[in-house]
């Protein structure tokens, strides 16, 4: 069965510091991995995805994520955090052999303090 775990409910970081939001997954077959961001009272917005190819994926707003097959991880990163990055971040996974559900993690709240 497909699953995705975001081990941290909240991540706190100072503005200007690097940030990491963690995600690990379990799927059969090759994974398709996604990161979405949700601002208060808004729908989810797509940030980036990994389908195949280079393990380092670059996305919107300066975010990037690194696919690590051996560790089954897809951590979201940004070199320098902004206060405006404060939001709820979701990792999601779908197995390549599956048609259908995109499984979302529980979400990680990122709090960037000035």
Q: How many residues make up the chain in this entry?
A: 114
For residues 114 and 111, give the distance between their C-alpha atoms in angstroms, rounded to a whole number.
10
5 binds another protein (CB under 8 A): no
Please check whether residue 98 is in contact with residue 2, taking contact to mean a CB–CB distance below 8 angstroms.
yes
104 binds another protein (CB under 8 A): yes
From candidates 8, 44, 64, 75, binder to another protein by CB under 8 A: 44
From candidates 46, 61, 80, 83, binder to another protein by CB under 8 A: 46
Closer to another protein by CB, 54 or 114: give it. 54
102 binds another protein (CB under 8 A): yes
39 binds another protein (CB under 8 A): no
For residues 56 and 68, give the distance between their C-alpha atoms in angstroms, rounded to a whole number.
9
31 binds another protein (CB under 8 A): no
- Residues with Cβ within 8 Å of 111's Cβ and at least 6 positions away in sequence, in order, are 10, 11, 12, 13, 86
Residues 105, 110, 41: CA angle, nearest 5 degrees: 75
Kindly state the tokens that stand for 75. Answer: 């951590």
106 binds another protein (CB under 8 A): yes
97 binds another protein (CB under 8 A): no
Binding residues (CB under 8 A) for another protein: these are 32, 34, 36, 41-46, 49, 51, 90, 94, 99-102, 104-107
């Amino acid at each position: 069965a497909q699953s995705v775990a975001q081990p941290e409910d909240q991540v706190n970081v100072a503005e200007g510091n690097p940030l990491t939001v963690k995600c690990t997954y379990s799927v059969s077959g090759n994974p398709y991995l996604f990161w979405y961001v949700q601002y208060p009272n808004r729908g989810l917005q797509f940030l980036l995805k990994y389908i195949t190819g280079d393990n380092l994926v670059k996305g919107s707003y300066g975010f990037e994520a690194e696919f690590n097959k051996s560790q089954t991880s897809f951590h979201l990163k940004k070199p320098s955090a902004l206060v405006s990055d404060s939001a709820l971040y979701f990792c999601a996974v779908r197995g390549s052999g599956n048609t259908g559900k995109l499984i979302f993690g529980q979400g990680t709240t990122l709090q960037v303090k000035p």
